[in-house]
Structure 1
Amino acid sequence: MAGFWGRRRREEQEALAAQDADLARQAQTSLVSADERIRVTTDELTFAELELGVEPTEDLRKALVAVRTHLAEAFHLHQLNHDEIPDTPEELRTRNARIVQLCEWAEDLLDDRTHALAEPIARARRAPEIIAGVRADAERLRARLPQARETVARLAARYAADALTQIDANPSHAEQLLGFAEHSASVSERRREAGQREQANLALEAATEAARRAATLIDAVETFEVEALRAESTLSAIAEDSRQDLVVARTAPQVPAVTAAMAELDAALHALPAAGVNTDPFTLLTRLREANGALDDAIAAAHERAAHPIPPLDHVRHAIDDADRQLSVTRDVIAGHRGWIGADARTRLAEAERIRVDLDRYLGTSASAATMIDEDHREQALAMARRVGFLANEGLQLAQRDIDASRPQVGPGQFGPNAGWGGGRRDGGSGLNGILGGFVIGSLLGDIFDG
């Protein structure tokens, strides 16, 4: 047995030594890789500054400073592993793990920073190509400006001025943007020739953005014409549906909400202009849709209310009064027999009282003092009042059960729980007092329940 355990321990030590050797090799490889990465990235930073300028490459420069600082720590740890002072396996293992961690962090950080610069550098190197594209786009878009102006004029003859506010100035704004794009492209060329790469790149970005916005404005003019025609077609269809909806609505319950929604939809239909009049189809369509939807909602609510009628105010008031009466009875019985009442009855009373307080909060006033309860609150108020009454009544029944269980049990020919006048006492009193108390309490509770 001793030989078995000795062999197993040697195997474990050999396995751990092999792992330590692998970790040491990984630490050395990581050091070489991270150091070489710093050298390569330093060269890349130089090229990036030539392409982009100093400010856009600031993050990469700071990352290199941080990486050099932490890699210096890694080299120091590696030096400690090979100095003349003997080290324990645990010390070597800890240092090598730290070296690997520092090197991996360094390479990850440099990867992140160089990746962020890859696209700007590629765009800067393609600057001549991009500038040529901006100028070509500007020329093509300028050729579309006369057509855009003609489209706006044609739309002005058909639609109201309010409808055209979103596109009537688009051609002139687009022309200004195209001029700015061409000017910015020229500035970018001059700055790049002068070696001012950062300013050149900013001007190039401004040129491409201006050309893109100009194209969007011109496209919006053509899109508006198509969307306006679609809105007119949709408006006609919805108007016809709305007229039929008004006919159907007359068969729905004529509650105030339905009547008001019908009046609003009818007004929206009468607001539709006659043929040949300049209109704003978008505004008219929005109003008609909203009025139509409001009528649908009002009719649905009316049918729902018809299926679940609003409780009369008298019913709600009676339910609240009945809940208060049952609460009062239960509260008095429990208060008068505190030593006999268990947890169940007390819990029902507490829950009933809590819901009664919530009822006052729901109505915004004392429910017992409220003279009017609006229709929107009656159904919930009735449910809460009934719940209070149910819990109070249940609490009273449980209290009666507890009282009955606590009464002295009197047999034939006896005056107490034990034979004889002094046969037993309850709560410090004589058996006769307990009997008389039980008779009186039983009579009172009988009167309450009979009532």
Structure 2
Amino acid sequence: MAGFWGKRKRDNAELAAQDADLARRARSSLVAADERIRVTTDELSFAEIELGVEPTKELRDALEAVRTHMSEAFHLHQLNHDEIPDTAEELRTRNARIVQLCEWAEDLLDDRTEALAAPIQRARRAPEIIAGVRADAERLRSRLPQARETIQRLAARYSAQALAQVEANPAEAEQLIGFAEHSAGISERRREAGQREQANLALEACTEAARRAATLIDAVETFEVEALRAESTLSAIVEDSREDIVVALKEPHNPEVSAAIATLQDALASLPAAGVNTDPFTLLSRLREANSGLDEAIAKARERAARPIPPFEHVRHSIDDADRQLAVARDVIAGHRGWIGADARTRLAEAERIRIDLDRYLGMSASAATMIDDDHREQAMAMSRRVAFLAGEALQLAQRDIDSSRPQGGPDQWGGPQQGWGGGRRGGSDLMGGILGGLVIGSILDGFID
């Protein structure tokens, strides 16, 4: 007994220590959260000066929500210290709620202030950013003559279709450079007028315009390099394609391979003569596509050669065999319904389902199997074999159920000597008894189901 009371005192002491620690956390959390609200309020004021009212709306809404919930936390803390006595459980519940509210408040304010940190930093660096945009605009404008010369040089070598993706780049880049300089001036004037939100929008516009102008000018130089690379690759692929045709002509032929060879030959024949302005990108894509088509057709032909297609007669015989096995299984199960379990019935149902799918797949009767093409013959053979396999399994499972359910003979059992049906313990008398028993039990079950 002394040990019991000693343990109880220790448990009470531990719980009291935990409650005291929770109370200290509640008090310190209240102070920290209240101080965070004050600091964030100041940060909101600075953010509104730098960014304007609309970009800081989420932080403002968060502060309002935090103040609302923190009033609940302060009210709970007040209840802990009023003149009304409280139980330990009530104090514990209130303090836990206070800690929860304070942690939520600080997490929400952290999230909203972090989201504004980058825009505020950017706004404070506005003069530096604007100076950088103007320097970039001057540098980009000096590259425009070279970009135009590159376009003229490319026009003498490549077709208008090939140049369509970069031909207008210098003109578009020049417009974007002018827009970037104009937006930079607007940003400066709006900031001086105290219109920070509009100033920041203009700042974003000028930096984006300068970035896009640089991308357009760079694309002209990139195009020239990529076009030369495409021409080099095209020459190699033309040579490879001619070799591929020679190899393909030695492969086992079928309509798909012949069509793929013809497509690749047409692509090679359509190549422009030397000295004609071309589009190496389009020509390269066309040859690659034709090459891939030939590779795929040859791979299928090789696979087909390694896996002979079953003759029409074999397909028809396989379907006939499946139908025979399905009929046998169906008859045995129907004649012994009262003894047949779920496994045999399930195999039979699946076999019948696949048999129906086979007819739908062929879209014709089995007698017309000579009209089935190669791909359909393979699938038809696989489906018919699956039907036969499932029907065989259904028959085996049904026989197992029948054997386990039929009487095993004896003076008072079906098939025993007194019955006079065949006189044997495992002869025709057992089969007759099984059939009759299955019919009787099946009819009884049918009556219950109905």
TM-score after normalising by structure 2: 0.88
Matches within 5 A, 1:30-429: 30-338=29-337, 346=345, 348-364=347-363, 367=366, 372-393=371-392, 395-396=394-395, 418=411, 426=414
The yes-or-no answer on 1:6 pairing with 2:5 is: yes
Q: Give how far 1:20 is off.
A: 1.1
Cα distance in 1 for partners of 2:276, 2:322 equals 65
5+ unaligned residues in a row in structure 2: which ranges? 433-450
Q: Does 1:438 align with 2:428?
A: yes
Alpha-carbon distance in structure 1 between the residues aligned to 2:406 and 2:179: 101
RMSD: 2.8
Shift in alpha-carbon separation, 1:208–1:406, aligned structure 2, 3 A: closer
C-alpha contact 1:333 1:396 (8 A) present in aligned 2:
yes
Q: Conserved in 2, the CA contact under 8 Å of 1:327 and 1:353? A: yes
Q: Distance between the aligned counterparts of 1:342 and 1:68, measured in 2?
A: 69
TM-score by length of 1: 0.88
Shift of 1:57: 0.6
Q: After superposition, give the CA deviation of every residue in 1:82-124 in whole Å (9 maximum; x if it has no partner).
A: 1111111111111111111111111111111111111111111
Deviations 1:121-164 (A, max 9, x none): 11111111111111110000000000000000100110000001
Give the counterpart letter for 1:293 in structure 2: S
CA displacement at 1:403 relative to structure 2: 7.2
Structure 2 CA distance for partners of 1:154 and 1:18, relative to 1, 3 Å? same
CA–CA distance in structure 2, aligned partners of residues 98 and 104 of structure 1: 10
**What is the total number of aligned residue pairs between the two structures?**
430
Code of the aligned partner of 1:438: G
Structure 1 residues 397 and 127 mapped into 2: Cα distance closer, same or farther (>3 Å)? closer
Give distance in 2, aligned partners of 1:12 and 1:300.
77
The alignment partner of 1:258 has SS state of: helix
Deviations 1:213-271 (A, max 9, x none): 00000000000000000000000011111111111111101111111111111111111
Distance (Å, rounded) in 2 between the aligned partners of 1:317 and 1:90: 82
Which deviations, in whole Å up to 9, do the C-alpha atoms of 1:140-199 show, x marking residues without a partner? 000000000000010011000000110000000000001110100011111111111100
Matched-pair contact (CA < 8 Å) for 1:174–1:214? yes
Taking the aligned partners of 1:409 and 1:5, their CA distance within structure 2 comes to 67
Whole-angstrom distance in 2 between the partners of 1:395 and 1:16 = 67
Deviation at 1:389, TM superposition (A): 2.7
- Asked if 1 retains the 8 angstrom alpha-carbon contact of 2:260 and 2:290, the reply is yes
CA contact (8 A) 2:133 2:184 kept: yes
Question: For structure 1, which runs of at least 5 residues remain unmatched after alignment?
Answer: 411-416, 419-423, 443-451
**Identity across the alignment (%):** 77
Letter in 2 for 1:307: A
